[in-house]
Amino acid sequence: MSTYDLVADLPVQIDGYALEALEQDVSSDFSRRSSVIRLHGEGEEGVGEDVTYDSVDQDAAQQAGASLPLDGTWTLRSFAEQLAGLDLFAQAPQEEVSRRYRTWAYESAALDLALRQAGEPLHAVLERTPQRLTFVVSLRLGDPPSLERLTSRLERYPLLRFKLDPTSEWDEELIAAVAETGAVELVDFKGHYEGSIMEQPPDPALYRRVVDGLKDVWLEDPKLTPEIDELLAPYRSRITWDANIRSIADIEALPFAPRMLNFKPSRIGGLERLLDAYDYVEANGIGAYGGGMYELGPGRGQIQYLASLFHPDAPNDTSPQGFLLADLPSGLPDQPLTPAPAPTGFRWG
């Protein structure tokens, strides 16, 4: 029996739904928006989060409101089939991957509702035990880059571990100082974000400085130009992938067999696809860690829940949301996170 088969036939009664808009200023020039999906039925509510980045798509969703034909008695399998036959966007999304984000939002809400109607938590149905969860904080060191962004967080939360985005401005001195902290688990070269504000163009000199100066970290999403592929050939056991992983087919299409992958449930885009991918990596001896999309609402807890069940000891990019704020609040939980599944449903904390 596949992992998906453990949940696919759970019944779910949907009597209606609503959308809730969330927004949070991340920096002086960026405000993150998302939408909470609230499915209702039998006196229960199931929640999911649409992490679509583009504001125009979030606006269109709010304007359309609860207009999709979702009411009825379903199983999670038949509900997913119903969703697959619907256009979840009133107009074509700004990015095609947003269709996956929205599908995940509705399917995760349906999973939460089905479990709450059944009076069961996710881990009981999956026959797994939530574990203490290790995490990393995803961070950029600024422009110009400054170690202070890293050390100021370590001063307040000394057990933190980090995932950093190196840029061409990182010199050998900065990299040596980063290495000296001993707090970095991953670096993300952002090699598959062409045309976005997060793009870091392939820079062989930067790659060389990083692999020489940070000898034990995972190397995420390099851009394998011929020169960089040759440079990184001795380090393939440290290379992991994220932005190009949306399905099992994407794993099988990688240029070489991976040891580790970053799974972002919203990017994979559906419960069956995600759970089948977990089964695939387990069967093939591939490690996994979780990744987030700057969730503002219940989606953050849901990816923490999944990470605690499938890869709790990995460098999960699923830190408590407060660690992503520019002004770091006090009283955040240090790591590892204590398991916090709700008594029923697909909720954490």
Can 5-120 and 126-324 be said to share one CATH topology?
Answer: no
Supply the pLDDT for residue 168: 94
Query: What is the C-alpha separation between 307 and 295, in angstroms, rounded?
Result: 15
Supply the pLDDT for residue 318: 96
Query: What is the C-alpha separation between 258 and 240, in angstroms, rounded?
Result: 7
Query: What is the C-alpha separation between 277 and 257, in angstroms, rounded?
Result: 15
Supply the pLDDT for residue 90: 87
CA distances 54 to 29, 65, 330, Å, are 15, 17, 31
Supply the pLDDT for residue 137: 96
Mean pLDDT per 10-residue run, the chain (349 residues)? 97 97 79 95 98 91 90 98 95 92 98 98 98 96 93 95 96 97 96 71 94 96 96 97 96 97 96 98 98 95 98 97 87 93 96
Query: What is the C-alpha separation between 275 and 301, in angstroms, rounded?
Result: 17
**Cβ contact 162:137 at 8 Å:** yes
In this structure, which topology does domain 5-120 adopt according to CATH?
A: Enolase-like; domain 1 (3.30.390)
For the chain, give every domain's residue range: 5-120, 126-324
Architecture of domain 126-324: Alpha-Beta Barrel (3.20)
Supply the pLDDT for residue 28: 59
Query: What is the C-alpha separation between 240 and 219, in angstroms, rounded?
Result: 6
Closest CA to 297 of 243, 242, 347: 347
**Cβ contact 40:14 at 8 Å:** yes
